[in-house]
Structure 1
């Protein structure tokens, strides 16, 4: 098959790396000729937000997919009209790429998500009391486009663009579950992972699997995952990010219609990875076993503050000496503060051992510039 991917970042790179063991051709559309996928695919330089670029790229492919949701959905809909398979379909991508539509989707389908208010322009009066979360309707990614307003003075930084305002959840844990559905309607769910964020960068720092949750919490998550798949009405692989509040209630934060940072530990930590699963979804093959093989975790390698330029990884040789520790670099030659440059997966026999190893790895390695 000729598999086309809109976006050439690290998610596409790791997907292609996994899928190269099969017999298919992989095509990538990205504006950056030095993107992570450029040297391991049939690469086309172009704008995945441009109607004509997407249409020209996708018209001769057997299936077109995304590794970033901010793409031209009108072009994807036209490709569908022309008989090109688009996974996930253009309708659910359009819903997910706009926070307002996404929240209305949860509300309409009775999927638990924090109460919200929609703001279209700067003149509208905010009804919700502080503290609240503001999410820009479009363009948010990797923590950008989201801010918390806690006190009256914070209104000075209030964004004037169309936004969703959410009541702030009293969070006990941030969780994620990755679900998959093929065209035959078969579904599989990965074990729930627990996310620990870097409060300064608002990026994922550690990811831990399995999450330390109760049976009651697992039941809520299973119901949410099934509700989402039933109502999304599309094959695909989706990451559902969740909040567990301090009263034991699970809420959907947001959903990604693609591979996700919170599933990276599945590369070594599960019987099959999210990347293998995604390949099977695109090919409509039987879905893979997702069983966790033990305790696993992931640490993001992120560009250090005050370093800009050609990347250099300090301490990587020390990390490579550690048992059950796996380095994944993204092929990015230039680093900048907060940029995701790679990740390291760790396996352990207990949660305590896993946390110790993750903290040790974090202390050993730094992403700087030459």
Structure 2
């Protein structure tokens, strides 16, 4: 059996952001040697890994040469050079999630086509290669426009309400989607290892900031009926079986007005919707990610307590060296744990950290989360 712990085994991670930093808390717990590749020498992971390599995640040679240094390669962001991953895979490097999974998911057009092909319920979509092609098409307004690649945290997504709105869109490969009327945005994180063991986390509910189109609160368990939760879980398992990925898959979904569940999009990695699990679950998503990519037995996904996560984002009107104002007041509240990501500079709506609130009573946890949101301010000097 391969020895991962206190050994010469090397785990490589493409991306050194906050997801990587939280993963490193688990590798340190298990004493696993970690190598991180990230474009910035100020990445949150830089001070916490065994080896830090600075380089472009989209450059073939950089990713390929990094991959040759490690025994298992994983990701904390899907925007990576896919050709390098295929070449490494050919040469025997174990890469999880697998390159073919990342390739489909990192392009929203391919991802949506995949759902249609596999019979996964999703909003009707169309693909366009450029803005000129989009302008020539006829539409029923409103509709959703998404950049096919490199979108994140609401960037690269717009609701288009008129012909004039089309003129302001980026000239890029893109998709359009039917605008769905929904009750709730839900998510299920599914863990799968290489022998096919699968476990799902409870369905969570996501409340979004209307202006930034970012998750503001994640609530676990979701405040939905057992029937809707069962349906969401079954669809998440259908998505997992279709991809046959190894690793974590975060499946974001809409609960429609008539309680149908349709898939919005997925992420092949640890995810914002699972951060509550660090405090609220028996096995948090970051430890579970390690278990999947190292083909270890999966841990329990059950919750110890109800959990609500509040995203800490840069306040509007502030850019520069970060200050977390009134953190002391937040720390006085019961069941509250802040996580600061280590980004030295803030800007409007930049994810700078999160706070988890755990409580036996979900509604009480949600009330405390509201207090946290109203007390703490992420500003600059």
> For the superposition of Structure 1 and Structure 2, which TM-score range results when normalised by the shorter chain?
over 0.9
- Alpha-carbon deviation of 1:258? 0.7
Name the structure 1 match of 2:316.
305
Name the structure 1 match of 2:203.
192
Local SS of the residue matching 2:131: coil
Name the structure 1 match of 2:13.
5
Name the structure 2 match of 1:36.
44
- Alpha-carbon deviation of 1:218? 1.9
**Residues 18-64 of structure 1, C-alpha deviation per residue, up to 9 Å, x if partnerless?**
22111310110011001000001110010111000001101121111
1:45 aligns with 2:89: no
Name the structure 2 match of 1:232.
243
Task: Verify the 8 A CA contact 1:117 1:128 in the aligned structure 2.
Answer: no
1:270 aligns with 2:270: no
RMSD (Å), alpha carbons: 1.1
Name the structure 1 match of 2:3.
none
1:201 aligns with 2:212: yes
Task: Verify the 8 A CA contact 2:27 2:34 in the aligned structure 1.
Answer: no
**Residues 122-176 of structure 1, C-alpha deviation per residue, up to 9 Å, x if partnerless?**
3333344111000111111111111001233322323332211100000110011
1:223 aligns with 2:234: yes
Match of 1:295 among 306, 310, 324: 306
Name the structure 2 match of 1:241.
252
Task: Verify the 8 A CA contact 2:188 2:233 in the aligned structure 1.
Answer: no
Alignment of 1:88-127 (within 5 A): 88-124=97-133, 125-127=136-138
1:214 aligns with 2:214: no
Distance 2:14 2:191 in 1: 19
Distance 2:372 2:130 in 1: 45
Name the structure 2 match of 1:181.
192
What is the aligned length? Answer: 370
- Alpha-carbon deviation of 1:245? 0.9
Distance 2:124 2:138 in 1: 12
**Residues 94-145 of structure 1, C-alpha deviation per residue, up to 9 Å, x if partnerless?**
0000001000110000000101111122333334411100011111111111
Distance 1:310 1:120 in 2: 39
- Alpha-carbon deviation of 1:352? 2.0
TM-score (norm 1): 0.98
Deviates more, 1:147-156 or 1:233-242: 147-156
Task: Verify the 8 A CA contact 1:128 1:167 in the aligned structure 2.
Answer: no
Unaligned stretches of 5+ residues in structure 1: none
Distance 1:282 1:46 in 2: 23
Local SS of the residue matching 1:359: helix
Distance 1:123 1:9 in 2: 35
Task: Verify the 8 A CA contact 1:314 1:365 in the aligned structure 2.
Answer: yes
Distance 1:261 1:179 in 2: 14
Unaligned stretches of 5+ residues in structure 2: 1-8
Distance 2:262 2:306 in 1: 25
TM-score (norm 2): 0.95
1:57 aligns with 2:45: no
Local SS of the residue matching 2:145: strand
